[in-house]
Structures are given as C-alpha cells and as structure tokens.
A and B are shown apart, each in its own frame.
Chain A
C-alpha cells in the first residue's frame, strides 16, 4: 500500500473538518485578546514585553493546534485492521507522521489565516509590532510543528496506539508547551537559523524509523480484560444484596446526562458555553481593557456568531448519538430534553453572571461597557437571546429527527433560527419585566445594562408584537411523544466507530 493511500485514510485527516471551525474561532478570539490588549497598552504609552507578545502570538496559533494534536492524533497510530495487512511498520509510522504533519499544517495554516484576517480588517491603524505579530511567528511555528509531531510520534513508536496513562499525558503536554515556547523563542532568529532544529527533527525521525521492528504491536497495556467467571464469585459480599439502598433520585439524571454526552464533548462544551455567557455580558471587554474602537466589538460579535454555529454543529449531534443508547428505557422526552439543555443553560448563565459582575465592578457607567451591535438597539436583546439559546432550540427542533447520525441542514438551522428569535425574544421580555419587579441589588445591575440598551430606541409596534408572540411560543411549546421519530439507516455490516461494546 502506498504511503499516499495510508495517509489519506489516517484518522487525523478524517477528523480535520470538525476542527476547522474551532480553530478559526479560537484563533480569532486569542488574536483579538492579544491585539486589543497590545493596543490598549500602546495607547496608554506602555511597551509590552517583547517575549510576552511573541508568546501570545504563538499561543494564538498553537492553542487550537495543540488541542488538535493531543486530542486527535497522539493516540492512534494506525487502525487495528491495518495491523493485519502485510505492511512494514516503517511505512505505517512514516504515514502516521506525514498525515499528522499535514493535518497539523492545515490547522496551523487556518489559524494563521484567521489571525491575518483579523489583523488586516481591524488593526490597520495599529503599530507594526501588533499588526505583524502573528506573521512573524509563523515560520518558527511551522518548524516547531514538525518537531512536535515527531516528538509525539517518538513516544513508544513501535506501538499501534499510545495507551492513555499519566505518563503519556505528561509527555504530550510537555511537547506542546515546549513547542509554544520554542516558537516564541525561535521567531526572533532569522529564517535560516530555523534549518538547524528542522534538520535535527528530521534526523531523529529517520533514526526512529530505522530502529522500528518489522511490525507494530498492539497496545494492550493496563489491566487485563475481565475474564469470564463461572458460578458465584467471592465478590464483595453483600454488594448485590437485596437490602442495597435505592439510588438517589438525582443520580438518574446525572447518569443519563453522562450517557448522552460521550465523555469528550462534555469537557469541551460546558467551558465553551461558559465563555459564551462571559462574552455576552461584556466580560471580554474587561479582560482586554476597554475597547473604545467599534471595530473590536464588531469582531467580537462575529466571533460569537461563529461560536453559535460551532455549538450547533459539534456537541449536539454527539448527544443525540448518545440518545440511541437510551432507546429501550422508559424515559420521557421531556426528561431527556431537560437533561440535554439544563447543563448548557446553567453554564451559559454562570458565565453571563460572572461577566456581568466583572463588568459592573469595572466601575464604568453601564451604557459604555457592554456590547452595541450594528443593528438598532431594539434588536439587541433579541440578538443576544438568539445567541444565548441556540443550544436549547436546536435540541428542541432536532429531537424530532433523532437519528444516530444527525446532520445540520439548512432547513433545520433555519427552523432553529426562527424558533430562537421568537423564543429568545419572549424570554428576554419576561426577564425584563421580572427585572422591573424585582430589585435585588445583585440582579438589578445585570438587568440594568440590558435595559439601558433597550431603552435607547423605542420599539416599534411590529417589534412588540414579535416579542409577545415569542413569549406566547415559550409558554405553548410542548414536546409531543409522537413527534419523536427515529430515522433508520439500512444495516451496515461493519461499523467503523462504535460507542459502547458488544
């Protein structure tokens, strides 16, 4: 089998599309942070330490890249099926390195592109040091990428996959951290000097490849799989006894949630939603100083839009895939819906609360901190609500189409957007009305900010009708049991990825 074919089949390239959106978003965000904080310092007349600046620039490129490398490509070197083929280990290893380098390069390229677009669009008037910050570290980043790829692949090269263990994790993080530092450090050197580390990395790779045995080995380290036991085992006595206390009521919801969110996406989703809330409340502006420049806010808003799409695309389909594990269980749709939505909403709410508190503490009048959007102020709460609850809405709409592989189609997104606008508006109206009634000191300043923006322009009659309709929809929205359909695909003889076992 030619290397090209092996490379094409490699998992790194297959999972690449999912990472592109995240890469763009993260890169834009971090670049925004770097640029605006540098800008703020420049306006204040201070000079940022150079190394810190380069480190941030390197970080803007490396954050998504490191996540990609560690999460996706570190572990599996080749598929188990490929071990059965008459392929020498060297070819497999080489294909692995090439594939990861290519995929990593794509991620790096995209991150650089996103940062470049950000700088080009928003930093035109900025001093050269800030504008060209990312461009300067790119060559070093490329070299360090290769070194990192080889470094990760050098760990137990003769194994088919790297076993998850603390040692491996430490190795991976060390390589990633080292790559970021090296990028920052090496970017000061002329391009020619980069040839040295590059050459070294290639040499090491060649040595490793030479030293590989004829065949890669399956990794089975760790505990041996449970052996079948006959008859009654001397298991912990009374472990299964009839007097075992019944499980607590809340445990069901937690277990169901764990089943629905396949492990990984849980850790991605909640922090992202928290960040969402933070951004919306204007907390971002606190972190970067006070962006007086409108362009900054537009950029941030664009980022939020992308984040919305990211949420629509990534965690929800995974959750829905997890739903089919729960098919035979007597769980009502409302319960499942609640379990799907609440953690996300709570995370967003927590982030929003935090952001609002931070913003309020920054001791500036409410009307200047926070987000003004290009659209008239009357739409501001609607737009905010639309971004706040897409998660809720796609779940609602899509639970009608529960399928093992759920895809995002234009129609579904359109349905979601419409519902979102309506329901979001309704929620906002409710919130505002409640806020007027309640005047707990904590809650008031959170709502005051939104109210201040709304009051900037009087809503027209159509807008009021729209808002009321949204409120009515919130109240009337129900999930019918019968509307829940499972879409069946023709049987496959071999499933490439399976959740669970059996």
Chain B
C-alpha cells in the first residue's frame, strides 16, 4: 500500500488514511478480496498511532469499502458497478470543491472554467492508465454549485 501521511496538513490522519485507501480501491491498486495490512503493521509502517489506523479501518468497514469475514483478516469489499462508480465520483467531487471555490473567487466565467477543465482532461487522456475507468466527469451543472 502506497500511503503517505502528512502530519502538517489540516486533515486528520485517520481521514487521510481513509481517503488514500478509498483511492487505492477506486483506482484498482487493490482489488476486491485483497488483504489489507493489519493495524499493527500499518501503524508501525506509517509511524502513526494504531488507534488511528483502526479508526480508519472501522469507518471504511462501515462504509462497506472494506469487509471483515469471520476468521479472515480485513479485505477489500466487492462493490457492484453502480456503487463503484458512485465511489469514484465521490472521490473526484471532494477534490473538485477547492478548484470550484477558487474559480468563484477569481471571478472566472463558468464556461471558461469548464473549458479549462476539459482541456486538462484531454491532456491527460494519453497518459491515462488502461484499466481505470474512463468515465468522464459530467460537465453538466451537477459538479458545480
């Protein structure tokens, strides 16, 4: 697991863990049924309090991103397509809030901002990894307030 913890950001560590694990799952770095490192291992690896790790795992379990079968360690849950798409949309939405606010603050016209976003997506289209979902973000008003 390629998780990095930044203790200086304003985001609590457990939240960072959750976000990055969700990203791992959504982008396919860990597949359904893959085992996750134990609380102890991950906490020792990352240098964080094991309670934080277990809190993150617990919350993800509640969100059904991870699952714990009796007698087996914590694994990635299988999500059907609809849920999977929703997860990925949610992830992207979270990181779009800031640019949206910025666009408003800068006073850019909506069309300008959307063009900018489209061109960035086009740039990355060539370097996009195969296997990840090619779902385009919906350019309708749904992603902006």
Classify A-B as touching or not with yes or no (CB < 8 A): no
Instruction: List residues of chain B with CB under 8 Å of any chain A CB.
Output: none
